[in-house]
């Protein structure tokens, strides 16, 4: 860790390391939330931890800033927990292994958690400094952002009085986000029926791997392969040529991550084994060709011994056709904002739960009505096939403000100190700003901006944080605070 310990700004990277040592997957934030509370108490700062484990830390203004607006610095403490299949890592108890690599920080075959641990590190560095000029500050660190924004949904708004919010959950330096998509999560439950097969059937597992994956909002426009949808295509092709029965199917691990891997257990006739494996090879070549400019994919099959029971032909057909029909990817593009995805859906997870298969999709849209139009497509499939479904974690979009003091200040400050032109951007990812604008409306007009350093491949084991951009973004944040009076 010697090279890591020499990184600048020292305090930012110190606190990033400390929170990286604390397991903090969504739903497992008690330890990191308590860490934040103790951090504040040790420095004599006012702190509140609410029932959702959100933490608010307050720091009084420095001399000359007492009459300025109160600024909320905001990020979330949880992270997406993804790892490569061959990596032994327990996200419930193991620290993230940080590696300095050619100007970046990455993890050892797991997600890094810079989304959004770097925001927490920035905030702690500001709180722990006595030589920074700033207005009254309220540091808000929320929970469960990555799994439906449970923390901000249950935020106790009376603990905050600020009217300017600087959200630090963006991923490109010099690009300031001023609008984001809303979202909703959908879960489809497919009931299973089983049958007994004769001894002339054998178990074969089909594996899909090698895909890049990525953030289901930020990366949905990159035309990367979705392992679960690819599995649907593979199974449908096989259905035309072989008499097979499904035994099991699982793919992806997070609704808001484009799935990189998927696998299915099939029962095929023993006499078809050689022909089956040849067909898999042909499908592998076909899909590799389709994705050659956007992704990589590997499809293979191998014989397995299993005690699992085969699903009926009817159940098998229903699952295959549902995977084929379920919407996925970009639905509409914005005609108002160049290159902005307007609405999309991501089939992030397929998982077996006892006697049912569950399909979980994350739907996003910057237009409320289009969000529910995608939901209608999913529920329409359920009504036709007779499935049950649930919709949850419905969160609002953040609409672009016609006028914004903090947005204009970000642009002028960035251009003055860097000599580069700042960009104002709308993103297809979800941010907590939509909820915060609604929750804190009693405080008066809520003026918001989102910013952050350069990060790449978030929500994947290839996630990395640019070191120099982290430094420059922190220095920009300090200058921005200095100018808010």
What's the chain's average pLDDT? 96
User: Among 29, 82, 115, 145, which one carries the catalytic annotation?
Assistant: 145
117 vs 464: CA distance, rounded Å: 12
Q: What pairing do the DSSP bridges indicate for beta strands 298-304 and 164-167?
A: unpaired
User: Among 50, 78, 146, 432, which one carries the catalytic annotation?
Assistant: 78
Active site annotation includes 145: yes
* Confidence (pLDDT) at 91: 97
User: CA distances (Å), 393 to each of 145, 178, 420, in order?
Assistant: 10, 22, 38
* Chain position carrying tokens 């204009």: 408
Kindly report the CATH number that applies to the domain delimited by 185-394: 3.30.70.360
Q: Which residues of the chain have pLDDT under 50?
A: none
Instruction: Decide: helix, strand or coil at residue 310.
Output: strand
* Confidence (pLDDT) at 1: 63
Please state the φ and ψ torsions of residue 402, each to the nearest 5 degrees.
Answer: -65, -40
Q: Rounding to the nearest 10 degrees, give the CA dihedral for residues 268, 269, 272, 274.
A: 70
455 vs 106: CA distance, rounded Å: 10
* Confidence (pLDDT) at 429: 85
* Chain position carrying tokens 């200040």: 409
CB–CB of 459/96 below 8 Å? Answer: no
Handedness of CA 419, 425, 431, 432 (dihedral sign): positive
Rg for the chain (alpha carbons), in Å?
Answer: 24
Q: What pairing do the DSSP bridges indicate for beta strands 257-258 and 214-215?
A: antiparallel
Spans of all domains in the chain: 2-181+397-483, 185-394
**CATH superfamily to which 2-181+397-483 belongs:** Zn peptidases (3.40.630.10)
* Confidence (pLDDT) at 349: 98
Active site annotation includes 78: yes
* Chain position carrying tokens 């990525």: 214
Instruction: Decide: helix, strand or coil at residue 419.
Output: coil
342 vs 30: CA distance, rounded Å: 35
Q: What is the DSSP code string of 120-146?
A: HHHHHHHHT-SS---S-EEEEEES-GG
359 vs 189: CA distance, rounded Å: 7
81 vs 89: CA distance, rounded Å: 10
* Confidence (pLDDT) at 283: 98
Instruction: Decide: helix, strand or coil at residue 381.
Output: helix
For 196-223, letters b (16+ CB in 10 Å) and e give eeeeebbbbbbbbbbbbbbbbbbbbeee
């Amino acid at each position: 860790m010697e090279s890591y310990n020499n990184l600048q700004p020292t305090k930012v990277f110190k606190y990033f390391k400390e929170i990286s040592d604390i397991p903090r997957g969504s739903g497992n934030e008690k330890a990191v939330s308590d860490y934040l509370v103790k951090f504040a108490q040790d420095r004599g700062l006012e702190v509140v931890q609410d029932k959702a484990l959100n933490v608010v830390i307050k720091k009084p203004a420095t001399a000359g800033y007492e009459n300025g607006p109160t600024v909320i610095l905001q990020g979330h403490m949880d992270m997406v927990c993804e790892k490569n299949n061959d990596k032994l890592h327990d996200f419930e108890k193991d620290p993230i292994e940080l590696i300095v690599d050619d100007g970046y920080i990455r993890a050892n075959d797991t997600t890094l958690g810079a989304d959004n641990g770097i925001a927490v590190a920035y905030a702690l560095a500001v709180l722990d400094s006595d030589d920074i000029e700033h207005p009254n500050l309220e540091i808000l660190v929320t929970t469960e952002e990555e799994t439906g924004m449970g923390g901000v949904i249950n935020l106790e708004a009376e603990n905050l009085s600020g009217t300017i919010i600087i959200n630090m959950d963006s991923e490109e330096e010099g690009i300031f986000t001023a609008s984001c998509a809303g979202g909703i999560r959908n879960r489809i439950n497919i009931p299973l029926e089983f049958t007994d097969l004769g001894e002339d059937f054998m178990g074969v597992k089909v594996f899909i791997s090698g895909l890049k994956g990525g953030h289901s909002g930020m990366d949905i426009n990159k035309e990367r392969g979705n392992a679960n949808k690819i599995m649907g295509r593979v199974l449908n092709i096989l259905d035309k040529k072989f008499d097979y029965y499904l035994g099991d199917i699982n793919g992806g691990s997070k609704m808001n991550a484009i799935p990189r891997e998927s696998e299915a257990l099939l029962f095929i006739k023993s006499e078809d084994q050689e022909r089956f494996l040849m067909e898999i090879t042909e499908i592998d070549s076909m899909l590799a060709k389709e994705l050659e400019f956007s992704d990589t994919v590997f499809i293979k099959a191998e014989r397995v011994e299993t005690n699992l029971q085969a699903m009926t032909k009817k159940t098998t057909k229903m699952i295959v056709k549902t995977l084929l029909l379920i919407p996925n990817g970009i639905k509409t593009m914005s005609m108002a904002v160049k290159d902005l995805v307007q609405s999309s859906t991501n089939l992030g997870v397929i998982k077996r739960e006892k006697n049912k298969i569950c399909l979980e999709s994350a739907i996003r849209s910057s237009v409320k009505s289009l969000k529910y139009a995608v939901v209608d497509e999913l529920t329409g499939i359920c009504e036709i096939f007779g499935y049950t479904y649930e919709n949850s974690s419905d969160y609002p979009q953040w609409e672009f403000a016609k006028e914004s003091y903090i947005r204009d200040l970000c642009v002028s400050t960035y251009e003055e100190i860097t000599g580069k032109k700042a960009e104002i951007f709308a993103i297809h990812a979800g941010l907590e700003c939509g909820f915060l604008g609604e929750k804190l409306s009693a405080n008066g007009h809520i003026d918001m901006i989102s910013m952050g350093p350069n990060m790449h491949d978030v929500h994947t084991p290839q996630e990395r944080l640019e070191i120099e951009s982290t430094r420059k973004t922190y220095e920009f944040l300090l200058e921005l605070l200095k100018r808010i009076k």
